[in-house]
């Protein structure tokens, strides 16, 4: 994954269909994991 080159060229800030399969999917997995962890942590506190 060439995240640095994407950021320097500005492509990273303009996600399109060609970036969804690689960067988009990975981002959704990370966000989903973080949300799941946060919900589990909040529920565990009560």
pLDDT in tens, 1-45: 455 555 555 555 555 555 556 667 788 888 999 999 999 999 998
What is the C-alpha to C-alpha distance for residues 4 and 41, in angstroms, rounded to an integer? 32
13 in Cβ contact with 23 (< 8 Å): no
Residue with tokens 């303009």: 14
Res 46: pLDDT: 73
pTM for the whole thing?
0.43
Q: What is the dihedral of CA 38, 30, 12, 25, to 10 degrees?
A: -130
Res 33: pLDDT: 94
Which pair of tokens denotes residue 19? 């970036």
Res 11: pLDDT: 52
Which pair of tokens denotes residue 40? 């589990």
Res 1: pLDDT: 45
Length of the chain, in residues? 46
């Amino acid at each position: 994954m060439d995240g640095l080159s994407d950021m320097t060229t500005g492509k990273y800030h303009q996600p399109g269909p060609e970036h969804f399969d690689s960067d988009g999917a990975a981002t959704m997995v990370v966000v989903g994991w973080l949300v799941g962890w946060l919900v589990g942590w909040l529920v565990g506190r009560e």
